[in-house]
Amino acid sequence: MRILTGCLIVAVASAGLAPSSPELHNRYGLSDWERFTVRPGITATVQYGADRLACQIQIEPYQSLVHQDAQPPHVPTVMPSKDVSEVMEELVPVAIRGKEIGMGSLQASCGGEQVDEYENVLILRTILACAPAGADHDIVVSIVFQRDICPRVKSPVGGIEPKLN
C-alpha cells in the first residue's frame, strides 16, 4: 500500500512541475506566436500582429525546441510538396493573395528559393533543388502578410521589393 501511495504522490507532484497553457496565458496574457501541427510531421508557426491577425507564418517539418538532429546538419528534412501546397491553400487561399506583383527564384548549389509577391502577401518557398523529379523537395515556406501593422520584410531575391504599404 505504501508503494501505491508513494507512486500516486510522485505522479501528482510531477504533473504540477510543468506549467499548462491556460496557466501561462493567465500569467502572461495572449501569445504573439503559436505553433500548430497542420499535417503529420509538418508544423505552421504563426506570428501575430497587435491586432491578433497573422503577420507571418512559417511552414516547416516538425522539430523539437531542443534540437537533437539525427541527420547531419547539411542534410535538410523535406516535406511532401503536395501537403505543403494544400496547407498553403488553407492558410493563404489564392483569392486573398491579391494580384500577383512579381516572382523570382534563386538557386545556390542544391538549395533554392522561389519568391512570389502578391498585393497582400509575400510567399518564400525554400526547396531542395537537387531532388529527383517528382520527389518531395520543400524545406520551409515563409508567408509574410503585407499589412501596415506587420513587421517589414525584404525579399531575399534582388529585384523584388515587397510593397509593405
pLDDT tens digit string along 36-78?
Answer: 999 999 999 999 999 999 999 999 999 888 766 655 556 678 8
CATH class of 31-145: alpha beta
Q: How many CB atoms lie within 10 A of CB 112?
A: 18
Q: How many CB atoms lie within 10 A of CB 76?
A: 17
DSSP 8-class letter at 163: -
CA dihedral 60, 65, 70, 71 (to 10 degrees): 50
For 40-162, strand residue ranges (E) read 42-48, 54-61, 100-108, 111-118, 121-128, 138-145
pLDDT at position 162 = 44
pLDDT at position 112 = 80
Query: Which residues in the chain show pLDDT less than 70?
Result: 1-16, 67-75, 132-135, 154-165
pLDDT at position 58 = 97
Break the chain into its structural domains and give their ranges.
Answer: 31-145
